[in-house]
Structure 1
Amino acid sequence: LLAQTTLRNILGTKTLAEMLSDREAISLQMQSTLDEATEPWGVKVERVEVKDVRLPIQLQRAMASEAEAAREARAKVPKHSAL
């Protein structure tokens, strides 16, 4: 439960791009936070690894729709020819 809460708190400060590309920084931040929180219990957190980032289906669909809209917008822009 502590690890889940810590992960949610950390991810809440990141953009989607950061979540997908910077797993190592997220892991280090989690390790530091968890180690600090568990020190009074005599527990030493030596390593945390974020193996994979899986997005909810709704978010995947929203991202796909946004990408499609961007492609369509680019396709509608007339190409200027050099004179």
Structure 2
Amino acid sequence: MVTKDMFIMEIDAICYYCMENASLLLSSLAHVPRAVQFLVQTTMKLLFAHRLLAKILLGSKSFAQDVKVAMDSVTCIWAIKVERIEIKDGRMPTGFQHPLAVDAEAQSAG
């Protein structure tokens, strides 16, 4: 993922969802897991591109909720209910983690 301030991170995310109407879902999508995976990736890339890294690090739970809300607007058409999104800590190049965490704390205090 690339953030608004041009930081590149690797993000692990898990999407929990349930099918509300299997016959409608299977008639509209050929590969459900692949479609959901693509939607999660696309949604996260879009949302990351509009946020600064410090804001993402400070509010990962709110970011996950934003991803869920954005996905719900699409998956409701597919008869899929997104239960929750879990975002694991991102991985950055070595040496960036501590300075960025200090910067994020400074921005939240200021």
What's the TM-score, normalizing by structure 1? 0.64
Correspondent of 2:62 among 25, 29, 40: 25
Task: Specify the alignment match of 1:50 in structure 2.
Answer: 87
User: 1:54 & 1:38 partners in 2: Cα distance?
Assistant: 28
Runs of 4+ in 1 over 2 A off after TM superposition: none
Ranges in structure 1 where 5+ consecutive residues have no aligned partner: 68-83
1:30-54 CA deviation, whole Å, 9 max, x = no partner? 0011111111110000111112122
Higher normalized helix content (fraction of residues): 1
Identity of aligned residues (%): 30
| AA at the equivalent of 1:32 | V
What's the TM-score, normalizing by structure 2? 0.50
Is the 8 Å Cα contact of residues 35 and 46 (structure 1) preserved in structure 2?
Answer: no
User: 1:46 & 1:7 partners in 2: Cα distance?
Assistant: 16
Ranked by relative contact order (alpha carbons within 8 Å, sequence separation 6 or more), the top structure is 2
Higher normalized strand content (fraction of residues): 2
| AA at the equivalent of 1:25 | S
Correspondent of 1:15 among 34, 37, 52: 52
Q: Report the RMSD for the aligned CA atoms in angstroms.
A: 1.8
**Any idea what SS the aligned residue of 1:33 has?**
helix
| AA at the equivalent of 1:48 | I
